[in-house]
Chains A and B, each alone.
Chain A
């Protein structure tokens, strides 16, 4: 709660600073805010475990609509952490205005609501609070036609999905008489126990699933994502790929594994099919792209498919797998998008050819590229493998066929991930790009690299935290 308030008030503060002060200061303030909020999040996690939640919090949110349990705290921490990486790496020459920074902070607040809701109203508020700044951010390159296009597309699609989501909430309310996860779960436990199926609630769950599948850009609601990812400025794209994705999956996980757990026979097969289709579609579509940015957009669709498997796994296993996978994905996506951004300087597109000769001129950047791509592809001793292993072992006993599809998808993904190695290392052409990386960026890159390798070599560093009762 405290951290949410810090970020929210901080966002307003940053907007005020933007009126007069140079932008550099608002950057510094934001970084401080984020670090403070991570610290407070940790404290909140401990508060919850030791059951001494400050009294003012319960007064502030009277009907107990937000729960800062360790699961919410864990997801919030990686949201804030990846946002830190995003602004640390994508604010070169201070070209990030205070207005954009403020919008992003508001969006992060929405993301934190989505991790900690215990009431569908709060979830809805979170989604809106996350999305509305994003519509603006997608169009933040005002003079660029593609950016405008992606803003309009994202807005229209997003508005539709929100409507569908609301409809689902209404159906659930009609069927169970409540919007609180606790009581929804209790009434559904009855249905699950008696083996009765309520069509109203079933329709509600399906509509909610459609809304959430849209947010995580999974099949069959993924069509918006490649265009929006490609058209948006890089900073927004990577923001969508990390912060938004983490928040959406945290919400998805909580909604389906808390509220709808007892009737999982109603929805799990639909979700499994969606996951399989997402994995196959994302990976196959990614192969044929010529733009590396678009390839990454499709690969992000494929990753959403893998992460859906976490929701199908048993709750505890699924949580750890999802947490590790999201962290791994965020760290590697930020680094790869950073390199994409830097190599495209002074060029008109984001083709694979931009990476030509990177391996010859930039040793450290190529190390970053290799580790991040390996992590995305799930090669052992990177965080991506630890996450994939968790996901795979979570579903193997119930969905062996889905595991097979996921493995086929992983094999296909090698074809496009390694394509960038061809340009970076094996191509004879050398266009002599020399990246100059500032000291601040070095710190953030090293942070991302360290997390990727540490979690990859020793995932117990995360999974042995005793934060949830098994």
Chain B
């Protein structure tokens, strides 16, 4: 509850606060972070869903019901650590700033709402709410053909959301006496296989668009490329995880009856996406596009690993969601820094920055290595677990997915080499400013810390994942 309201209130104040808005937004965002930290300190991973807050909202059937378990906790940590970083990265945008900061911090509130919702309709509402700030961020401060791009993005995701709404309402109509949208009630609904298939497809459409899975990724590269840096970071760092989280928390336990039919498709699409996106990424010249496609490639692996529905896959998926969020934000942040100094982010016009700023070169290298999943960076353990799980599902898909490691190294290092080495093409590279330092150091710390101690992250979610698996196998009750 506090996690949702604090940022939203901060957003409203920041929108009208003129030149103070950036500080108010940052303050609100960090307060939220500290509240979460307090929760985290007192969090018992094995304690089920904690800090529940449950009040009737729309009607007796629709509650404002929040609660945090291990899975939510990881995504909340991700959201509330990255949100201040994203705010910091936007600190020297010139015009219309109050609204931009308000939208970012408002978005943080909406995302927290998505990750703590324990009620179907509440989840839907925050899912939609999270879409609106990013629509305006991308539309107002984007580049290129931004209206067309953002509209395409919005329509893609809105169609998905509506399909999800239909599925949720259908499930609701099957709960005893049309009584409840609560997670427990929706999970308890038993469906015929055909029904389950349709309901599952509806949910999957929403999540697959957001992830994005292969045939539904049409909105992604252009939106990533044309959105302003802060918007891209929000999208790739946090919003993608909404789709993965939905897959994990809502899709799989709600329609376990349909899993045997749908999972092979999800795994196949995920893995095809991995290879397809990686191959495209190798040929790109625009740095943002490279990272956009690499994102597509990474989330394909996460989706496939989660869909296998084993403990290894889900744990690896959660770890990798966190790491990918951090790495993607780090990469886009670095690209933004480069672009601000060179007025370009095309590889063929860049070069030689390593000679101009040694510190930045080192930081950028750490981030790139994290994204490439080199051991002792945060990308490695998650990817390992995911590959293991996909391989266990079927060796063919496992091997195909394994290619990603090689291809990823190719495009990441190519990007690094072309931009940092060689003859300097830019005139000069002004030193990093304080807010850039702050943002980058948070990212680097996360990369190294969770590269060395991934177990810390796994411990948070392990009991919750076990409970979830019981639900999926249709044998467990919802622990609350």
> Measuring CB to CB, which residues of chain A are less than 8 angstroms from any residue of chain B?
374, 379-381, 385-386, 389, 392-393, 396-397, 400, 403-404, 407, 410-411, 414-415, 418, 421-422, 425-426, 458-460, 463-464
Contact between A380 and B129, CB atoms less than 8 A apart: yes
Q: A380-B129, A381-B125, A397-B173 are in contact. Are A407 and B151 (CB under 8 A)?
A: no
Contact between A414 and B158, CB atoms less than 8 A apart: yes
Chain B neighbourhood of A381, CB < 8 A = 125, 129
Cβ of A247 to closest chain B Cβ, rounded Å: 27
Q: Complex formed: what's the CA distance from A374 to B129 in Å?
A: 11
Interface status of B38 (Cβ within 8 A of chain A): no
Contact stretch, chosen from B55-63, B229-237, B284-292, B382-390: B55-63
Interface status of B360 (Cβ within 8 A of chain A): no
Residue from the set A389, A392, A463 with the largest chain B CB neighbour count within 10 Å: A389
Q: A380-B129, A397-B173, A422-B147 are in contact. Are A458 and B166 (CB under 8 A)?
A: no
Q: A414-B155, A458-B57, A460-B58 are in contact. Are A393 and B172 (CB under 8 A)?
A: yes
Interface status of B163 (Cβ within 8 A of chain A): yes
Chain B neighbourhood of A425, CB < 8 A = 136, 139-140
- Encode contact with A along B436-457: 1 for CB under 8 Å, 0 otherwise: 0000000000000000000000
Contacts A374-B132, A415-B151, A418-B151 given; 19 further ones with Cβ under 8 A?
A380-B125, A381-B125, A389-B121, A392-B165, A392-B169, A396-B172, A396-B173, A407-B162, A407-B163, A410-B162, A414-B155, A414-B158, A422-B139, A425-B136, A426-B150, A458-B58, A460-B56, A460-B58, A464-B59
Interface status of B146 (Cβ within 8 A of chain A): yes
7 closest cross-chain pairs (CB), A and B = A380-B125, A407-B162, A411-B159, A422-B147, A380-B128, A397-B173, A426-B147
Chain B neighbourhood of A396, CB < 8 A = 166, 169-170, 172-173
Residue from the set A380, A392, A410 with the largest chain B CB neighbour count within 10 Å: A380
Q: Which residue of A has the minimal Cβ distance to B125?
A: A380
Contact between B166 and A403, CB atoms less than 8 A apart: yes
Cβ of A144 to closest chain B Cβ, rounded Å: 33
Chain B neighbourhood of A418, CB < 8 A = 151, 154
- Encode contact with A along B50-90: 1 for CB under 8 Å, 0 otherwise: 00000011110000000000000000000000000000000
Cβ of B358 to closest chain A Cβ, rounded Å: 40
Contact between A415 and B124, CB atoms less than 8 A apart: no
Give the contacts of B25-55 with A (CB-CB under 8 A). Answer: none
Q: Complex formed: what's the CA distance from A389 to B161 in Å?
A: 13
Contact between B125 and A393, CB atoms less than 8 A apart: no
Q: A389-B121, A392-B166 are in contact. Are A426 and B146 (CB under 8 A)?
A: yes
**Which among A380, A385, A393, A421 is the interface contact of B173 at CB below 8 angstroms?**
A393
Q: Complex formed: what's the CA distance from A458 to B132 in Å?
A: 19
Jot down 8 A-B pairs with beta carbons below 8 A, ordered by A: A380-B129, A392-B165, A396-B166, A396-B173, A403-B169, A407-B163, A422-B147, A458-B58
Q: Complex formed: what's the CA distance from A414 to B139 in Å?
A: 15
- Encode contact with A along B449-469: 1 for CB under 8 Å, 0 otherwise: 000000000000000000000
Q: Which residue of B has the minimal Cβ distance to A398?
A: B173
Contact between A407 and B165, CB atoms less than 8 A apart: yes
Cβ of B139 to closest chain A Cβ, rounded Å: 5
Q: Complex formed: what's the CA distance from A121 to B58 in Å?
A: 39
Cβ of B256 to closest chain A Cβ, rounded Å: 21
> Measuring CB to CB, which residues of chain B are less than 8 angstroms from any residue of chain A?
56-59, 121, 124-125, 128-129, 132, 136, 139-140, 146-147, 150-151, 154-155, 158-159, 162-163, 165-166, 169-170, 172-173
Q: A459-B59, A460-B58, A464-B59 are in contact. Are A400 and B129 (CB under 8 A)?
A: no
Q: Complex formed: what's the CA distance from A404 to B165 in Å?
A: 10
Q: Which residue of B has the minimal Cβ distance to A422?
A: B147
**Which among A385, A421, A464 is the interface contact of B139 at CB below 8 angstroms?**
A421
Contact between A386 and B58, CB atoms less than 8 A apart: yes
Q: Complex formed: what's the CA distance from A392 to B140 in Å?
A: 33
Q: Complex formed: what's the CA distance from A398 to B162 in Å?
A: 19
Cβ of B255 to closest chain A Cβ, rounded Å: 16
Q: Which residue of A has the minimal Cβ distance to B152?
A: A415
Q: Complex formed: what's the CA distance from A204 to B158 in Å?
A: 42
Cβ of A460 to closest chain B Cβ, rounded Å: 6
Tell me what chain A mostly uses at the interface: helix, strand, loop, or mixed: helix
Q: Complex formed: what's the CA distance from A240 to B392 in Å?
A: 64
Contact between B155 and A411, CB atoms less than 8 A apart: yes
Chain A neighbourhood of B56, CB < 8 A = 460
Contact between A389 and B166, CB atoms less than 8 A apart: no
Chain A neighbourhood of B129, CB < 8 A = 380-381
Q: Complex formed: what's the CA distance from A379 to B146 in Å?
A: 21
Q: Complex formed: what's the CA distance from A421 to B147 in Å?
A: 9
Q: Complex formed: what's the CA distance from A380 to B129 in Å?
A: 7
Contact between B155 and A404, CB atoms less than 8 A apart: no
Contact between B140 and A426, CB atoms less than 8 A apart: yes
**Which among B124, B147, B151, B159 is the interface contact of A380 at CB below 8 angstroms?**
B124
Contact between B172 and A414, CB atoms less than 8 A apart: no
Q: Which residue of B has the minimal Cβ distance to A423?
A: B147
Q: Which residue of B has the minimal Cβ distance to A463?
A: B59
Contact between A460 and B57, CB atoms less than 8 A apart: yes
Cβ of B299 to closest chain A Cβ, rounded Å: 24
**Which among A379, A404, A426 is the interface contact of B166 at CB below 8 angstroms?**
A404
Q: Complex formed: what's the CA distance from A404 to B166 in Å?
A: 7
Q: Complex formed: what's the CA distance from A289 to B136 in Å?
A: 24
Q: Which residue of B has the minimal Cβ distance to A359?
A: B140
Contact between A411 and B147, CB atoms less than 8 A apart: no
**Which among B58, B128, B139, B155 is the interface contact of A459 at CB below 8 angstroms?**
B58
**Which among B59, B125, B128, B150 is the interface contact of A460 at CB below 8 angstroms?**
B59
Cβ of A433 to closest chain B Cβ, rounded Å: 18
Q: A397-B173, A418-B154 are in contact. Are A426 and B139 (CB under 8 A)?
A: yes
Cβ of A309 to closest chain B Cβ, rounded Å: 13
Q: Complex formed: what's the CA distance from A435 to B413 in Å?
A: 54
Chain A neighbourhood of B146, CB < 8 A = 426
Q: Which residue of B has the minimal Cβ distance to A427?
A: B147
Cβ of A105 to closest chain B Cβ, rounded Å: 36
Chain B neighbourhood of A379, CB < 8 A = 128, 132
Q: Which residue of A has the minimal Cβ distance to B132?
A: A379
Cβ of B370 to closest chain A Cβ, rounded Å: 35
**Which among B59, B155, B165, B166 is the interface contact of A415 at CB below 8 angstroms?**
B155
Chain B neighbourhood of A403, CB < 8 A = 166, 169
Chain A neighbourhood of B140, CB < 8 A = 425-426
Q: Complex formed: what's the CA distance from A316 to B308 in Å?
A: 44
Chain A neighbourhood of B165, CB < 8 A = 392, 407
Cβ of B167 to closest chain A Cβ, rounded Å: 10
Q: Complex formed: what's the CA distance from A458 to B125 in Å?
A: 12
Q: Complex formed: what's the CA distance from A401 to B173 in Å?
A: 15
Cβ of A34 to closest chain B Cβ, rounded Å: 30
Contact between A407 and B155, CB atoms less than 8 A apart: no
Q: Complex formed: what's the CA distance from A393 to B59 in Å?
A: 13
Cβ of B325 to closest chain A Cβ, rounded Å: 25
Q: Complex formed: what's the CA distance from A385 to B121 in Å?
A: 11
Cβ of B147 to closest chain A Cβ, rounded Å: 5
Q: Which residue of B has the minimal Cβ distance to A410?
A: B162
Q: Which residue of A has the minimal Cβ distance to B56?
A: A460
Cβ of A284 to closest chain B Cβ, rounded Å: 14
Chain A neighbourhood of B132, CB < 8 A = 374, 379
Chain A neighbourhood of B136, CB < 8 A = 425
Chain A neighbourhood of B151, CB < 8 A = 414-415, 418, 422
Chain B neighbourhood of A463, CB < 8 A = 58-59
Q: Complex formed: what's the CA distance from A322 to B24 in Å?
A: 41
Q: Which residue of A has the minimal Cβ distance to B174?
A: A397
Contact between A411 and B158, CB atoms less than 8 A apart: yes
Chain B neighbourhood of A407, CB < 8 A = 162-163, 165-166
Cβ of A72 to closest chain B Cβ, rounded Å: 23
Q: Which residue of B has the minimal Cβ distance to A457?
A: B57
Cβ of A315 to closest chain B Cβ, rounded Å: 15
**Which among B58, B154, B155, B159 is the interface contact of A389 at CB below 8 angstroms?**
B58
Q: Complex formed: what's the CA distance from A380 to B58 in Å?
A: 12
Cβ of A107 to closest chain B Cβ, rounded Å: 34
Q: Which residue of A has the minimal Cβ distance to B58?
A: A459
Chain A neighbourhood of B57, CB < 8 A = 458, 460
